Structure 1
Amino acid sequence: MSSIIQLLPDHVANQIAAGEVVQRPASVVKELLENAIDAGASDIKLICKEAGKTLVQVIDNGKGMSVTDARLCFERHATSKIRKAEDLFDLHTKGFRGEALASIAAIAHVELKTRQDQEELGTHIIIEGSKFMAQEPSVLPKGTSFSVKNLFFNIPARRNFLKSDVVELRHIIDEFQRVALAHSNIHFTLYHNGSELFNLPQSNLRQRIVNIFSGKTNEKLVPIQESTEILSIQGFVGKPEFAKKNRGEQFFFVNDRFIKSSYLHHAVMSAYEGLLRDGLQPSYFLYLTVPTHTIDINIHPTKTEIKFDDEHALYAILRSATKHSLGQFNVAPILDFERDFNLDTPYSYQNKEAETPTIQIDSNFNPFQEEKKTATGSSFGFKPKKEAQPQWESLYVGLKENFEPEEMHFESEAVTSSLFSDHEVEKAPTSTYQIHKKYIVSPIKSGMLIIDQQRAHQRILYEQFLTNITVHQASSQQLLFPLTLYFSGNEMAILKELKPSLESTGFIFEALNLDSVVISGVPVAITESEVPIVLEQLISDLQDEIPDSSFSQMDSMAKSMARSLAVKTGTYLTEKEQENMVNSLFACKENSVSPFNKPTFITLSVEDLDKKFSI
C-alpha cells in the first residue's frame, strides 16, 4: 500500500503560509513598513495604486541589505532578529519570524532594490510567485525600495474576496496610521493613485496625532503620564464631551507596537464611569512600556495580540492613571470640599515664574499739604465725583399735582398647548393610545393593533429618504449661518464618497476640506442640532463597508438616517402624532417590518382576548 502523506513543495507551503500573513493589501503594507523601521529609516514613503491591488511600494532610506541578505530574505524562516527560542521573549524589533517576505513573494510579483551606504552598487531582484526571474547589480540610492505588484495573481479565489477599492484603501490607511502613531520621529508619506494623502513630518506625539486626525483634535486631548517599576504610561485621552459612537480613535501601543486588548480597553472605560452617556466611546492614544521578558507577542499571526504576565496590575495602574489625569485637568469631578478652583494655577502657567509687580513712588507727595481741589482732578490723579444737581425740583415743574394714571387695557392672549382648539379636539373621538411611551394601541374591527413606535417611525423615514435619494426631489432648508463640522481623514473620505447621495436627501455642501465640511442646507426633516448626530451615525454605520452598487449605498444611507432620526422609546406622542404615525405606517409599501427586518406591529383579535379571559 502506497503512502498517502507527502511533503508539500516550497511554493505551495509559501502560498499556504501567505494565507495567515497576507490577508489583504493592508497586510503587505504593515509588513513592509515594519521592515523599513527595523532598517533604521528616518524617511519612509508608501505608494499604492488601486488600493494596493495593483501596486504597494515602500521606499526607505535605511541601512539597506547586502547581496547575500537580499537573496536570503525571501527564504522561509530567514531572519536576522532571533538566534534561539529564548530571543522570542526579548524582542526589540517589529518583524522577527522571517515569514512575511517569503509569503508575499509567493503570491505576487516582487521587485527589490537595495543598497548599503558603504557599497557603490546595489542589488536589483525580481521574483514572480516564488520564482527568481532576475538578479543584477544596479546604481541605486541608499536604502531599500520594495514593490509588490498584482497581489494574489496566482490565487484568483483570494483576489475575489477582496472588497472595493474604498474599503481596501481604508484598511491601508488604518495600518499606515498605526505605524505612524507609534513612530513620531520618522517622516511618513502616503500616496494613492498619484495623489498625496498624508505627509507627516518628524514631530512629537501630540503633533503627530493632530497631523493624522486633524480637525480639533488638539483641544480634545488630555495628557496622561505615569511611571512604575512594571509599567510606564504616556499619551493622551479624550475629553468626555468629544466622545463618539464609534471606536475609530482608540489606540494601544506596547513597546511601540500597536495591539488590541479588550481587557485594557475595559480599564480605560472604567475610568470614564459616570462621565459618558450610554453608547459613546472616548478616544485615547496610550503608549505603554513594559519589560520585554514580561510579554509574549508571538501568540497571533498578525502580532496584534499580546499576552502579559501580570494583567491585573496593568489594569489597576492604567485605570488609576487615566482617572487621575481626568481629575487633574478638571475633566472629572473630585471630592475635595475645601478646594477652591479659583485658586488653581492654570495649566499653561504651571511652569512659568511669577512676574514681580513694579512699584511707583511719588517723591513730591506731602501728606500734610492741603489737597488742591481742581476741576480736572485731585492731587492723587483721580477725577472728583460730580456734584448733585442743585435744582432737582425743576425737573418736576409742570406735572399735575394730583396725577392719576388712566385705566390701562391689555390685549388678551389665549395660550394653548396645541394647534387645535379644545372643542375641535373634543369632537374627534380618541382612536389611539400610547402605552409606556413605547407602544401605540389602535382599535380595529377584529381586535386591536399594537405598534412599536420606534420601528414604525424607522420604516416611515426609511421609505421617505429612499424616495428622496432615488427621485432626487428632496427639499432643503437653508441655514441662517453655515454649519462647520470637523472629522478625521478617514471620516472625510467616507463623506466625500457619500456626497452625491447626501445631496439627494437635501444636504447642501459649501465646501469639503481636508478636515472639515461646511453645510449650508439640510433636509426639512432634520434640525440643525441633529446634523452632527446624523452624520456621525452614518459614518459609524458605513465605517467597515461601503457597498459597491449605488442602490446598496443609497439603501444603507436611508437605513442609517432613519435609525438616527426615528423617535426613541420613552418619547411622549400626542394623539395627533399617534394618528399620523399610524396612517403614515400603513401608507408605506412594506409596513409589517422595519428597515432592519423586525416587526413593526402585532395584531390581537377579539378571540385572542376571549381566550385570555376564559382561563
Structure 2
Amino acid sequence: MENLGRYNALHPDSISAMNAIKLLPDLLISQISAGEVIGRPASALKELLENSVDAAATEITVQLFQGGIKLIRVADNGTGISRDDLPLALARHATSKINTLEDLQKIASLGFRGEALASIAAVSRLTLTSRGREEKHAWQIQTKDRHLSPPEPAALASGTTVEIHDLYFNIPARRKFLKTEATEYAHCDEIFKWIALSRADIGFTLQHNGTLRRHLRPADPRLRIAAILGDEFAQASVFVDERAADLRLWGASALPNYSRSSRNNQYFFVNGRFVRDKLIAHALREAYRDILHPDRHPAFALFLEMNADGVDVNVHPTKTEVKFHDSRALHQFIFHTINKALASPQLASVASVSPARDQEPRYGSRAVVAPFSTYAQQRIMPLAPQIMPDAASALPGMAAQSQAFYQTLFDTGTGSSIDSMATAIADKKQEVPPLGFALGQLLGIYILSQNDRGLLIVDMHAAHERILYEKLKLALDNHSLSMQPLLIPVTFQADSLDIATVEENSAVLCELGFEISVFSPTMLVVRAVPATLKDADVIKLAHDVISEIREFGASQALTGRRNELLSTMACHGAVRANRMLTIPEMNALLREMEATARSGQCNHGRPTWFEISLADLDKMFMRGR
C-alpha cells in the first residue's frame, strides 16, 4: 500500500486515466482478435481453408507469395456467398454456421466463431470475391484504408476467392516477428497438409511463388495419406479401423521402427478437425509404450469419428484444442484399438522395418513391408501359440518342420550342389515360414536366417526377451504363472529391509511365481521360480524382484509398475550373448517369434530383426551391372 500511495502521488493523472472505462473501437477489437487467431500467414491460411471446406467445395486452390506474407489466395468451387451477405462476411461475430446455444454444443463445421475474416481484414488488404448459387454473376468486396468498399460486379465461375495482401502491413511491430520466407512457407505447407489429410474427397492444389508444390486429386483416404506423408510412411504402417458404440477410429499407425526423434509426423483428427490433445497423446503413447524406445516418438495419421455433442471444440481461438465429455472411455478406446493393431503377430505376412532415416542405420538393412493400404484385406496366417517355457530347449515339435525341410535337401542328394539346392528351395517356397530357416549364428549374438525374400538377421537375446515378456504378461493376467521348484534351493545374503520385504509380501511373490522365504536373520532362500525363467540366474532375478517391491510397494509392482517388473524378469530369462545354439534351437526361436505379439521389438523398443532382400544383396555385389 505504501508503494501504491507513492505511485499515486507521483502520477495523479494516470490514475484518473485508468479509471475512465471506454468502449474499444471496432478496428482495435478486430486487431486484438487477429493477435489471438492470426499469428502468422499459416493461421490465416487455416481459416480460409476451413471456410472452403465448410462451403462444400470439391476443388480448392492455394497460391502463396513470399511464404504467404505478400499474398495468400484461396479459391474454391463451393456454395459461395450472396451479394447481400458479403459485407456481413467481414463483420465480427457474423456466421452462417451456428444460430443457437444448442448449435454451439454440437458443432459439425470447422469454423463457427465468425471472427476470422474480420480479424484478417483488420491487419491486411483483403479482397473477397464470391458467386452464390442463385447469382447471375459474382460480386467483389475489398478493404481499402481500413474501410469496406461496396460490393461490385466481378467475374467468377463459381464459389469464393479470398486474397490477402501484405499481412500486418498496418502493424509493423507484429510484422517484424514473422520469420523468413522459407519458414513461413513451411508452416503454410503444414496447415495445407492438415486440411488435405482431413478431406481426401476434395482436390487440393498448392502453389508458391508461381511454382506448383502439391496437386492432390480426390482419392481413397489411404492413398491421400500416402501422397502427403510419403510411401515410406505408408509402407511402414498398419491400417486401423475399429468401432465401439458411437466411436470410430481409423487411419494409419506406423510400426515402431518408423519412429521419429520429434513429434512432427503425428496427425490426429476429431470429426475432420486437426487437434492436439493431451488425453489422446497419452493414450497413443501408452499403446506404443511396450514396443517403442523412450527417446522415440510414434508416427500416425488417425481419424476419430464421434457424435458432435460428445466433444467441445469451443475451448480455444485456434480450435486445435478440444474437450471430451467422456474422456476416460475415449482414452481406453484409443489405447486398446492401437495396442491391438500393433500387437498382432504380423510376421506371418509383413517383414520388419528398417531404422528411421534420423537413426543410425545398420549397413544393408532395408524396409520390406507390404503397403498399409492392403492391411485391411490381408489375413494373418494362423499360428498356434507354442506352449513352451523356453524356446531354446523345446526342440522336437518346434524344429520338426525345418529339420524335415533340410532332410529333404541333403538326405535325398538334392543338396549336393548350389544349383540343386536353389532349385529345391524354389520348389518348396510355399513351405518357407515368414522368418525362414536358420543358417547359423554370428558372433554368438545374431541368428542368420533365410526366407524366400532374402537374408534375415535376428538378435536372439532381444527376440527371446520379448517372447518371455509376453508369456509372463499373459500368465499373470490369467493368474496362471506356474512355479518351477528348484532341485537344490538357492540361498543368498540379504539386508534387513530385503528380509522384511519378503516377510511382508510373500503372497505377492507367490503370485509372481516365486517361493522365497527367510532362512536366517541375514539369509534368504529361493525354493521356486517362474517356470518360464527356470534357466535364469536365480540370485540376480530374486534380487531385482525384491528390490522392485521394496522400492515401489507391492500394489504398485502389480499395477503401475507391472510391465517394468515383468520386463526385468524376462531379461533375466532370455538367452544370453555367446550362448551357442544348435540349428534346431535357432529354428525353434524363429517359430516362437512368429507366434508372439510385438515380436518385432524387444521390451525396450529396439528392433529384434532386420531383413536384407535379395535385390539389396545384388546391389551390394553389383550383380547385373
Greater relative CO (CA pairs within 8 A, separation 6+): 2
1:268 aligns with 2:284: yes
Cα separation, partners in 2 of 1:350 and 1:330, compared to 1, 3 Å: closer
Within 2, Cα distance between the matches of 1:81 and 1:106?
22
Deviation digits for residues 424-446 of structure 1 (CA, Å, limit 9, x no counterpart): xxxxxxxxxxxxxxxxxxxxxxx
User: Would you say the 8 A contact 1:239–1:331 is kept in 2?
Assistant: no
SS for the counterpart of 2:346 is coil
Shift of 1:275: 1.2
Stretches of structure 1 that go unaligned for 5 or more consecutive residues are 333-345, 353-384, 386-615
Shift of 1:64: 0.7
SS for the counterpart of 1:140 is coil
Stretches of structure 2 that go unaligned for 5 or more consecutive residues are 1-15, 349-373, 381-412, 414-625
Q: In structure 1, which of residues 298, 316, 327 is the aligned counterpart of residue 332 of structure 2?
A: 316
Cα separation, partners in 2 of 1:329 and 1:185, compared to 1, 3 Å: farther
SS for the counterpart of 1:279 is coil
SS for the counterpart of 1:217 is helix
SS for the counterpart of 1:141 is coil
User: Would you say the 8 A contact 2:234–2:252 is kept in 1?
Assistant: no
User: Would you say the 8 A contact 1:268–1:319 is kept in 2?
Assistant: yes
Q: CA RMSD in A?
A: 2.3
Equivalent residue for 1:40?
56
Shift of 1:351: 7.5
Q: In structure 2, which of residues 80, 86, 91 is the aligned counterpart of residue 75 of structure 1?
A: 91
Shift of 1:50: 0.2
Equivalent residue for 1:12?
28
SS for the counterpart of 1:47 is strand
Q: In structure 2, which of residues 151, 155, 169 is the aligned counterpart of residue 135 of structure 1?
A: 151
Equivalent residue for 2:192?
176
1:304 aligns with 2:320: yes
Equivalent residue for 1:223?
239
Within 1, Cα distance between the matches of 2:227 and 2:116?
30
Cα separation, partners in 2 of 1:106 and 1:280, compared to 1, 3 Å: same
User: Would you say the 8 A contact 1:63–1:143 is kept in 2?
Assistant: yes
Within 2, Cα distance between the matches of 1:189 and 1:175?
13
Shift of 1:34: 0.5
1:242 aligns with 2:250: no
Equivalent residue for 2:492?
none
User: Would you say the 8 A contact 1:108–1:128 is kept in 2?
Assistant: no
What pairs with 1:369-388 in structure 2 (closer than 5 Å)? none
Equivalent residue for 2:65?
49
Shift of 1:348: 8.2
1:145 aligns with 2:161: yes
Within 1, Cα distance between the matches of 2:235 and 2:281?
22
1:105 aligns with 2:105: no
SS for the counterpart of 2:167 is coil
1:211 aligns with 2:227: yes
AA in 2 matched with 1:6: K
Shift of 1:134: 4.8
Within 2, Cα distance between the matches of 1:296 and 1:349?
35
**More displaced 10-residue stretch of structure 1: 112-121 or 124-133:** 124-133
Within 2, Cα distance between the matches of 1:141 and 1:188?
18
Within 2, Cα distance between the matches of 1:155 and 1:190?
28
AA in 2 matched with 1:178: W
User: Would you say the 8 A contact 1:224–1:235 is kept in 2?
Assistant: yes
Equivalent residue for 1:125?
141
Equivalent residue for 2:78?
62
User: Would you say the 8 A contact 2:269–2:303 is kept in 1?
Assistant: yes
1:29 aligns with 2:31: no
Equivalent residue for 1:400?
none
Cα separation, partners in 2 of 1:25 and 1:299, compared to 1, 3 Å: same
Equivalent residue for 1:192?
208
User: Would you say the 8 A contact 2:206–2:215 is kept in 1?
Assistant: yes
Deviation digits for residues 158-212 of structure 1 (CA, Å, limit 9, x no counterpart): 0001111111111111111101100000001110000111111111111111111
Within 1, Cα distance between the matches of 2:215 and 2:200?
12
User: Would you say the 8 A contact 2:83–2:151 is kept in 1?
Assistant: no
Shift of 1:154: 0.6
When the two structures are superposed, what TM-score results if normalisation uses the length of structure 2?
0.53
User: Would you say the 8 A contact 1:26–1:172 is kept in 2?
Assistant: yes
Shift of 1:8: 1.1
Cα separation, partners in 2 of 1:165 and 1:240, compared to 1, 3 Å: same
Equivalent residue for 1:511?
none
Within 2, Cα distance between the matches of 1:50 and 1:285?
29
Equivalent residue for 2:552?
none
Q: In structure 2, which of residues 251, 257, 270 is the aligned counterpart of residue 254 of structure 1?
A: 270
Cα separation, partners in 2 of 1:297 and 1:9, compared to 1, 3 Å: same
Equivalent residue for 1:84?
100
AA in 1 matched with 2:183: V
User: Would you say the 8 A contact 2:42–2:187 is kept in 1?
Assistant: yes
Within 2, Cα distance between the matches of 1:232 and 1:349?
18
Shift of 1:327: 2.1
What pairs with 1:153-552 in structure 2 (closer than 5 Å)? 153-328=169-344, 330=346, 350=378
Shift of 1:278: 2.8
AA in 1 matched with 2:201: N
Within 1, Cα distance between the matches of 2:199 and 2:36?
26
AA in 2 matched with 1:98: G
Shift of 1:214: 2.1
SS for the counterpart of 1:278 is coil
User: Would you say the 8 A contact 1:102–1:130 is kept in 2?
Assistant: no
AA in 2 matched with 1:203: A
Within 2, Cα distance between the matches of 1:186 and 1:29?
17
AA in 1 matched with 2:47: E
SS for the counterpart of 2:149 is strand
Cα separation, partners in 2 of 1:254 and 1:347, compared to 1, 3 Å: closer
Shift of 1:349: 7.0
Within 2, Cα distance between the matches of 1:309 and 1:331?
39
User: Would you say the 8 A contact 1:123–1:135 is kept in 2?
Assistant: yes
SS for the counterpart of 1:285 is strand
Cα separation, partners in 2 of 1:151 and 1:310, compared to 1, 3 Å: same
Shift of 1:219: 0.8
Within 2, Cα distance between the matches of 1:155 and 1:77?
22
Cα separation, partners in 2 of 1:349 and 1:37, compared to 1, 3 Å: closer
User: Would you say the 8 A contact 2:252–2:300 is kept in 1?
Assistant: yes
Cα separation, partners in 2 of 1:197 and 1:329, compared to 1, 3 Å: farther
AA in 2 matched with 1:24: R
User: Would you say the 8 A contact 2:80–2:130 is kept in 1?
Assistant: yes
Cα separation, partners in 2 of 1:21 and 1:347, compared to 1, 3 Å: closer
SS for the counterpart of 1:216 is helix
Within 2, Cα distance between the matches of 1:229 and 1:278?
33
Within 2, Cα distance between the matches of 1:215 and 1:209?
9
Deviation digits for residues 456-503 of structure 1 (CA, Å, limit 9, x no counterpart): xxxxxxxxxxxxxxxxxxxxxxxxxxxxxxxxxxxxxxxxxxxxxxxx
Shift of 1:301: 0.6
Within 2, Cα distance between the matches of 1:131 and 1:322?
52
AA in 2 matched with 1:268: L
Cα separation, partners in 2 of 1:347 and 1:142, compared to 1, 3 Å: closer
Larger Rg: 1
Within 1, Cα distance between the matches of 2:286 and 2:378?
29
Shift of 1:78: 0.5
Cα separation, partners in 2 of 1:264 and 1:67, compared to 1, 3 Å: same
How many residues are aligned here? 342
